[in-house]
Structure 1
Amino acid sequence: MTSHIDDDLLARYAGISESLPDAAVWVVEVHLETCSGCRSRLGAVVPPETAMIVARIGSELTGALPAVVPHRRLGVVRRWSTWSLLPRLMVSVGALLAALLLEVVNPHYPSPVLLIAPVVPLFGVAAACSRRDDPAWELVAASPQGGVLMVLRRTVTVLAALLPVLALVGWAAGTSVALWLLPCLTVTSATLALGSLLGVRRAAGVVTAAWVAVVTAPAMLTHQLPAVLNAGTAPVWAATGLALAALVWSRADAFQRLASRN
């Protein structure tokens, strides 16, 4: 937000009026993090009983807790990634190298690199958005930067880490970037869209299983590259990816409610 929060929105956030949608709450809280003026105004519109409870708890805690200097850089890292993501990324890289080796050994089969490239990031995306793999998950998910913003940031981190590796492995295998990049982005968008219903971790498993059953397994059995991975399907992949990305954004509120399913 570039301007201050108006009085009506601030009063609704404080609970005087009807509740706000989750997306609006995130916007207000992000602004309050950096605007002392609006924080002061918020204190003036908080219901008296709430103000009394906060004042009493504050007085009891004063001097009881050690002073902690927040590490802003660490907070930024937590929003964009988690250290437990590194082993998952290494496994994804190992899968790509194994696919490259398989392609060298069996050049007559459809490219294994091309067949697994679209779903390789999903292992990392599932880990980046999983409470089981992030010790600070509850803190990050409950912050103003949680919900869909955290999911999108961490997905970008996974893609930024793996796309260069995919490009290098694809180049070594003689596979054009045009053949796997759009399917990769579209499949990732499909995972996030389904994740708004099931949770990202579960959605990644469902999408990966569907890809293997519909694309990878038939290709290995028939020794033919599926039509969905031909160069002529690029416009379809692009349109589908954009539609899924729009769906993810339209369902932003669902990611806040589904935090416990990840």
Structure 2
Amino acid sequence: MSSHVTAQEMAAYVDGGTGVDFWALEVHLEKCAGCRDDLAKAAAPSLDPLLSGAHTAIRAQVATGPAPVPRRRVRVLAQRWTVWSLMPWTLTTAVALVAATVLDQAFPLRPSLVLLLAPVAPLSGLAAAWSARADPAWETISGTARFGLELLLGRTLVVLATVVAFLGLTGLYLGRSPVMWLLPCLAFTSATLLLGGFVGVERAALGLGLGWLAVVVAPALVTAQLPVLVGGSSAALIWGLTALGLGAAALLRASDHQQSRGQ
């Protein structure tokens, strides 16, 4: 079809009648914006009854249907700040801390696994909370106004609250000072947020976790000696300053998370 669609051909196409080459007409419509505009005008009158009927049906359903079910505030906050996909990672962290507590209790002369694992305990949850593969609603969430640093900080607080609760129970049971596991935990969380703005939170959590296990945890288990960085008298001051510095740097570089969406 070299010329534009005539009024008769357009009417036949809209009505689904005969006497027109539908395939050739549709090929022409794909290339001709003017004819597409004419098609929209020609189809508008025939669509009015359909749209009007749909509008009436929807209004009737709204008027006679059940009232909206109010959602409880606790449930709304839970859905806003966390996702159910975090549950497996939370259970994994809990099982790891329970196993570490049992081993610490059974082998008191060996290096404390609770203190060794405390710094990296929240990292798996952070990776899952900001992973496109772990969140089934990622595509929907990524298009919302809250996507970015605000959502990341909210989920980070949920992960930290969960991990700190488990560490608090295990530390209380073993008689460990909260400072020795809380400050390293905060330092690694801040480091993950800071590096996550450049390489993605998932990659940052994986790199920091594997690095800590290879450089600190594995040698401690081999030598049967707790590193000074974990159990020394000056460790608390070092971890406190580190957590403060990394936290401030993460806040100063907060805009990096807006630029690295979806990493």
TM-score by length of 2: 0.70
Asked if the contact 2:125–2:159 (Cα under 8 Å) also holds between the matched residues in 1, the reply is yes
Give the equivalent residue in structure 2 for 1:242.
Answer: 244
Residue in structure 2 matched with residue 89 of structure 1 by the alignment:
90
- Call closer, same or farther: CA 1:87–1:123 in 2, change over 3 Å: same
| 1:172 counterpart letter in structure 2 | Y
Hey, what's the Cα distance between the residues in 2 that align with 1:118 and 1:235?
Answer: 15
Gaps of 5+ in 2: 1-50, 63-67
Letter of the structure 2 residue corresponding to residue 182 of structure 1: L
The equivalent residue for 1:116 is 117
Distance 1:72 1:193 in 2: 34
Match of 2:254 in 1: 252
Task: Give the match for residue 233 of structure 1.
Answer: 235
How big is the alpha-carbon RMSD for the aligned residues of Structure 1 and Structure 2? 2.6
CA distance in 2 between counterparts of 1:153 and 1:178 reads 23
How far, CA to CA, are the matches of 1:104 and 1:246 in structure 2? Answer: 37
- 3-state SS of the aligned residue for 2:241? helix
Counting only pairs closer than 5 Å after superposition, residues 158-177 of structure 1 correspond to structure 2 as: 158-177=159-178
Structure 2 vs 1, CA of residues 77 and 171 (structure 1 numbering), >3 Å: closer, same or farther? closer
Secondary structure of the structure 1 residue equivalent to 2:122: helix
C-alpha deviation, 1:71, in angstroms:
6.4
Q: TM-score, normalised by structure 1?
A: 0.70
The structure with the larger Rg is: 2
Task: Judge conservation of contact 1:110–1:220 (CA < 8 Å) in 2.
Answer: yes
Rounded Cα–Cα distance in structure 1 between residues aligned with 2:235 and 2:107? 26
* Contact kept? 2:110, 2:225, Cα under 8 Å: yes
Q: Which moved more, 1:134-143 or 1:198-207?
A: 134-143
Q: Size of the alignment, in residue pairs? A: 202
Cα drift, residue 259 of structure 1: 2.0
Residue ranges of structure 1 left out of the alignment (5+ in a row): 1-60
User: Cα distance 1:79–1:258, how it changes in 2: closer, same or farther (>3 A)?
Assistant: farther
Give the % identical residues: 44
Query: Who is 2:209 aligned against?
Result: 208
**Aligned: 1:180 with 2:181:** yes
Q: What is the rounded CA distance, in whole Å, between the counterparts of 1:79 and 1:193 in structure 2? A: 23
